[in-house]
Structure 1
């Protein structure tokens, strides 16, 4: 069915799908950022080093 729509229409559908993906990815990043702020983990403190692997 989609192959009968033609290349220009398939290009539009591809661009719309890519835009939807970027939108959802942006929403996930925003929610993650808000969660980090609520936990006091963002912004990182000056001079803070990343934890070493294996230390919990």
Structure 2
């Protein structure tokens, strides 16, 4: 699991309200939705590598 860091975010009320509605629709917390949207934007712009996929045999305990 990656390290999480706290960061105070100043955001307009309009954007925050829209993000809250979106997070409610997606059944995510507001924080998780903001992180999801940022991560997707970073991936689409090529600024974030995709998370490595786990090897299927290594994760199987049997």
Query: How does the TM-score come out when normalised to structure 2?
Result: 0.34
Query: How does the TM-score come out when normalised to structure 1?
Result: 0.37
Write 1 or 2 for the structure with the bigger share of helix.
Answer: 1
User: Is the radius of gyration larger for structure 1 or structure 2?
Assistant: 1
- Give the number of the structure with larger relative contact order, counting CA–CA contacts within 8 Å between residues 6 or more apart: 2
